Structure 1
Amino acid sequence: MVLSEYTYVFVIGTFFAMLDAYNNGANDVANAWATSVSSRSISYRQAMVFGTVFEMLGAITVGARTADTIKNGIIPNSAFKGDAGVQMLAFTCALAAASSWVMWCTKHSAHVSSTYSLISAVAGVGVATVGASKVQWAKLQGWNNGKGMGAIFAGLGMAPLISAGFAATIFMLIKVVVHLRKHPVPWAVYTAPFWFLIAGTICTLSIVYKGSPNLKLNKKPGWYVASVTMGTGAGVCALSAIFFVPFIYARIIKKDYTVKWYMFLMGPMLFTRQAPADAQEAKVPNYAVIQEDDDLSNPASLSDYDPKSEGKDDISPPADQEKIAVAAESKQLSYKTQPTYKELMAAGDDKLRQKLLKKRGPLGWAMRTLRDNPMGAGELYEFHNMKIVAKRIPAYIVCGALYGLHYDIHAAQTGHSGTPEGDRMARVYSHAKKYPNEVEHTYSFVQVLTACTASFAHGANDIGNSVGPWAVIYGAWSTGSAAASKAPVPIWQLAVLSLVISLGLITYGYNIMKVMGNKITYHSPSRGCSMEMGAAVTVLLFSQFSLPVSTSMCITGATVGVGLCNGTLKAVNWQRVGLLLLAWLLTIPIAGTLGGVTMGLFLNAPHFSS
């Protein structure tokens, strides 16, 4: 029986579930892919494609298990005493509190964990609804077979440390086997299948051992799990030996710049392929993190910068442009000497806007539409302003959908020379040894596989954040019974919310990605794949015990662990790490308070009885 009188609660709950999933993609998933983009192993647009595919695969195949923890592991179903309406309202308030907090943080590029935001909000709602004694606190209810609040929050301290240990171990293995060799390039080429073996095994393990509840793969005997996992990993290893090693041998060792990406299909024939006579240097990307890679990093290039000259290309209204020009004139001297960090970032954003304004595609059209149609005089309801709004709304939608795909992540990630942040990052980078580009290029291919593994693991684990409460709301609304929350999560709900997570990554993920990655420590493909494998193993380990753990915390811990492998504490930007830790800690009381207060207000609001 559908609770028609609570349909409005179901609609509102669905909206906040979508918003929470969107924020999850813009915050946690963006942080996970920041490692690959920071290492220059994959472009931002490619990361969006791979992220979408593997997030959905992980969510649909193995995501239901962690969703069950959010549904029934924090607030016992019996605590609602069969009142489906109160149950729906409780989880709607939890989603509203968590999504609002994460959205605010994402807008201000403050990275927080969407996992712990929702867990804290659910706990706060539970206190307001059924009392603190009914919430599964570790001190009161034990560990509840690994699903109590104490077990979940234990991951806050354990996950980053465990992830750091895994990632550091993997990178030190790469360092000993390859980087410390007198001639590391041949070692990097010929040992590549081994790293594909590790990455392939981790990816297969996440699918087979955890398994989809519908397929019951996790119920298979140990020998089956071991044989399938190792067999698939060995198959990936063999394929890389047949196709990848000859391809990378021709490109790096023989320095054949005529080798195209699709020629890997030639396999061993590439060993005998003759390289051009003028092949003197391997044609590989430069993976070095450089702060002075554009005009914005050179103060002299800004000495003649005149903000007034940009007025005709600015999308701000004329009145605002005049104010900007006046303010710029009063600060003219600062451009003649040394620009501040804020001025450098403003100039960088303006440079990006000027580039986008010249594009011929939908984004260029949208940017020009906003520039050429500023709001006129008077109120919004004036007829001429209503016509302008009709033109600007489609342009705003297009900009919101496509702006992130054109954002210059690398320019935003590195500090600019001459600023405090630029000097700090330069000191951090100086303590990290730079390895040959030929060696790093080999691991860029491995990192694509490890990035997909990390994305799959994130989809398997963090989909429970949004789909758990949404499944409770939907179950209570559609059946009229609070007990329906014990039912399995439908696959269609996992698919819908995983798609929304990907949408958040694509359209708004740049806001978090620009402050992660190279802002913590020096990145390169060999370091990046170690970070991602370490984080993926940790997430899968926690998810196996149905513990929703923050992927963000895992990848951050892995990043710090690999940074420490440089042999000094100075190779890590501890200021950024401290800010991340502070944001994580503040999330718990803020999200919990927001959820509890919201639920308390609704429960105790004046109402009329029939």
Structure 2
Amino acid sequence: MAALPQYDWIIALISIAFCGSSFGNGANDVANSYATSVAARTLTMPQVGFLSMFTEFFGAVVLGSRVTGTIKNNIIGLDRFRGTPSTLILGMGCAEFASAFWLLTATKIGYPVSTTQTIVGALVGVGIAAEAGVSWGWKDGSVSQVAASWVVAPLISAVFSAILFGSLKFAVLERKDPFEKALKAIPFYLAFTAGVLALFITVEAPGAPSLEELGAGIACAIVLGTFFGALILAYVFFLPYAHRRLVKKDTRIRFRHVVLGPLLWKENPPIFWPAKGDEVVIDYFARDVPAAGNEDIEKQKTENSADKGEKLVNDTPAPLSLEDVERGKTAVPTGVEQYERKPEPEERFLAPTAHLPIHNPQRIWSFIKYFFLQGVTRDCVTHADAQLASVHDKAKQYDNRAEHLLTYAQVASAMMMSIAHGSNDVANAVGPWIAAYQVYMTGEVTEKGESPIWILVVAGFLLGAGFWFMGYSIIRAMGNKLCKMTPSRGFSCELGAAITVLLASRLGLPVSTTQCLTGSIVGVALMNLDVRAVNWRQVAFVFSGWFITLPCAGLIGGLLMAMSLNTPQFGQG
């Protein structure tokens, strides 16, 4: 029985805001884990959509904390609310609404923002409006540390990722016969990745000991044990698979056949469910923007998108048939270099039935397909931008097969980052709801609150759903718009960001995965030894999103709280 049943309507509204906040968290932050994998063509959007549903749900439900701090980072004091607990319900509702509104707005604009800093900003606004104490000084989780992380986190992450990519670049990719060097090195890179990510998950899991508490001996045992275990598995299973697919160029082989291990060394191995097709490896350096220097490219930009391949169009474009539209063809003037672009969801699902009555079953079915698939069928790799083409042209191209070997490590690191995100950042959405619900049920203000398993299930599902429907905006912003992304570069970015988060955990610094990944991408791009290999305009755009998140979320939360506390009531003057 609830202690404060008169406020059940506020709990209902907070629950709606909680759903929006979890959805926005998934749409914005989940995309960061997979952005480089999509941009590098390692994974497709549908693949990432399904993977994120699994990894986020697993992280939130299996690893998510059962005891959630009611006030994120203790950013505001609770003493102000102990005399009037119902005010805390109101405050948490305002913070949840502010967080949901800003995350969804930022995602729509394309701002990759920190969900942690969003809820911190919202709580600061609520605290100021309620005249509660706000933690401004330099201490764990304070506002000053959050602001410092805007610069510190990207710089540290950039250094680590640049070192990782530098080791790949000079020891493998730029050596004579890079593919042979890559075959010899890949087991060690896979093992190193496994070791780092094992430690990352161990330390970052809620309730787990910090590196300080864990001790150097146990930490080394985790890393070395995982390293040598993964190294053995790589030699026994991965190398035969890579040799069969990339050296023998057996087009029947897919990753599912890695379980055959040593059998793949045979001349005619027993391959189950052989794949069809004649492509062994995709071209990771296929141009994903039109050629630089094309002055009219912006005028010829259409709503379609591209996978790969270029062609020159004919002098006089012929009228397009329905089949042409479905394939993504467009009519453009003479001499403009154009991609054969796969259609955007509007062309793929809506255009073919646009001439039919709105009540026609075919048109209704096309609307249903568009609604459920538009988020994972958009092209997030290619960009019709001549200025961006000049940025991509500064990136050196390497052996395609050597790049392919690193896709497996990149997928593993992206999945681990996503699982860690689900386990940690679920508290950003759940925390305010738990705080309000605890007060509603007990009538008392508490520091900690038990998280019912069902709320973690809902949050985990919404994290994945948020990416499925809206994650494409952030994938575009954090991928090839910043620099040319390839598997070797993407792998270095993700692993460098993971190492940075580990180090920050050791030092007690509140860093954002978004900021770490951005710094990593810039650091790797600068390893081209040309500052023009970075799209600094996009970097400034991303940084501006971090800068305005705290004040925007705070302003929204503060205004909602101030208006709620000072609203005239019936029967009173």
Tell whether the structures are fold-level matches, with TM greater than 0.5: yes
Return the offset for 1:490: 4.1
Return the offset for 1:456: 2.1
Structure number with higher helix proportion: 1
**Contact 1:62 1:210 (C-alpha < 8 Å) held by counterparts:** no
Counterpart in 1 of 2:356? 372
**Contact 1:295 1:301 (C-alpha < 8 Å) held by counterparts:** no
Q: Which of the residues 274, 282, 286 maps onto 2:283?
A: 286
Equivalent pairs: percent with the same residue? Answer: 33
Counterpart in 1 of 2:180? 186
**Contact 2:68 2:449 (C-alpha < 8 Å) held by counterparts:** no
Counterpart in 2 of 1:353? 346
In structure 2, how many angstroms separate the alpha carbons of the residues matched to 1:45 and 1:572?
A: 28
Which SS does the other structure have where 2:35 is aligned?
helix
Counterpart in 1 of 2:9? 8
Return the offset for 1:136: 0.7
Counterparts in 2 of 1:8 and 1:306: CA distance versus 1, 3 Å:
farther
Counterpart in 1 of 2:79? 78
Which SS does the other structure have where 1:518 is aligned?
coil
CA-to-aligned-CA distance 1:426-464 (integer Å, 9 cap, x gap): 211111110111100100111111111221232233222
Counterpart in 2 of 1:199? 193
In structure 1, how many angstroms separate the alpha carbons of the residues matched to 2:67 and 2:155?
A: 21
Answering whether residue 372 of structure 2 is matched by residue 401 of structure 1, we say yes
Counterpart in 1 of 2:399? 436
**Contact 1:63 1:459 (C-alpha < 8 Å) held by counterparts:** yes
Counterparts in 2 of 1:218 and 1:452: CA distance versus 1, 3 Å:
farther
Matched to 1:431, the amino acid is K
In structure 2, how many angstroms separate the alpha carbons of the residues matched to 1:240 and 1:231?
A: 14
Return the offset for 1:217: 11
In structure 2, how many angstroms separate the alpha carbons of the residues matched to 1:349 and 1:211?
A: 40
After superposition, residues 328-343 of structure 1 pair within 5 angstroms as 336=333
Return the offset for 1:234: 2.0
Which SS does the other structure have where 1:487 is aligned?
strand
Count of residues paired in the alignment: 543
Q: Which of the residues 257, 262, 282 maps onto 2:256?
A: 262
Q: Which of the residues 142, 150, 170 maps onto 1:148?
A: 142
Return the offset for 1:176: 2.2
Matched to 2:258, the amino acid is F
Matched to 2:432, the amino acid is P
Counterpart in 1 of 2:42? 41
CA-to-aligned-CA distance 1:186-239 (integer Å, 9 cap, x gap): 111121111111211122112323444289999655533432342123212211
TM-score, reference length from structure 2: 0.85
In structure 2, how many angstroms separate the alpha carbons of the residues matched to 1:24 and 1:301?
A: 46
Counterparts in 2 of 1:348 and 1:191: CA distance versus 1, 3 Å:
closer
Counterpart in 1 of 2:91? 90
Which SS does the other structure have where 2:480 is aligned?
helix
Return the offset for 1:171: 0.9
Counterpart in 2 of 1:137? 136
CA-to-aligned-CA distance 1:522-549 (integer Å, 9 cap, x gap): 1111111111111122234445667653
Provide the aligned C-alpha RMSD in A: 3.6
CA-to-aligned-CA distance 1:382-409 (integer Å, 9 cap, x gap): xxxxxx5999998756533222222233
Counterpart in 1 of 2:220? 226
Q: Which moved more, 1:504-513 or 1:50-59?
A: 50-59
In structure 1, how many angstroms separate the alpha carbons of the residues matched to 2:187 and 2:378?
A: 34
Return the offset for 1:500: 0.7
Return the offset for 1:255: 3.1
Return the offset for 1:494: 3.0
In structure 2, how many angstroms separate the alpha carbons of the residues matched to 1:567 and 1:556?
A: 18
Answering whether residue 492 of structure 2 is matched by residue 495 of structure 1, we say no
Counterpart in 1 of 2:531? 569
Gaps of 5+ in 2: 270-277, 291-305
After superposition, residues 437-586 of structure 1 pair within 5 angstroms as 437-483=400-446, 485-543=447-505, 549-586=511-548
Q: Which moved more, 1:80-89 or 1:436-445?
A: 80-89
In structure 2, how many angstroms separate the alpha carbons of the residues matched to 1:74 and 1:33?
A: 30
TM-score, reference length from structure 1: 0.80
Counterparts in 2 of 1:13 and 1:456: CA distance versus 1, 3 Å:
same
Return the offset for 1:476: 1.4
**Contact 2:72 2:119 (C-alpha < 8 Å) held by counterparts:** no
Counterpart in 2 of 1:238? 232
Gaps of 5+ in 1: 276-280, 315-333, 359-366, 375-387, 417-421
